[in-house]
Amino acid sequence: MSNILDTLTEGELKVARILVQECLNGMGGKRPSDLDGDRFTWAWADTLIEHGYSRHEAAGFWSSLEKKGIIYHYEGKDYVVNDEVWQAFDPIW
């Protein structure tokens, strides 16, 4: 059975994991299933820069993750990590 993570390159998978970890850090969780019930799993491109990516790299990953539905723009404001992403990460966390 395929899941949303199967659509990602190795680099995109690493970045998606960073974004899920930041969601957990923001709410005090230890594993992705802790995000169940967290209404919004916010994501910011600056997080990638804080993890050593250049602005250019961060922009490239951000664009590809948005195209693949890993993150999405919530009501024209901030970005959110798709629930399917953290749910797919949970068994392999």
d(CA 86, CA 93): 9
Domains of the chain, first to last: 4-92 (1.10.10)
Q: What is the pLDDT of residue 77?
A: 79
From 76, 74, 90, select the one nearest 21 (Cα to Cα).
Answer: 90
- DSSP H or E run through 38: none
32-73 pLDDT, tens digit per residue, is: 999 998 877 999 999 999 999 999 999 999 999 999 999 999
Q: What is the pLDDT of residue 83?
A: 93
- Whether the CB-CB separation of 78 and 47 falls below 8 Å is answered with no
17-32 pLDDT, tens digit per residue, is: 999 999 999 999 999 9
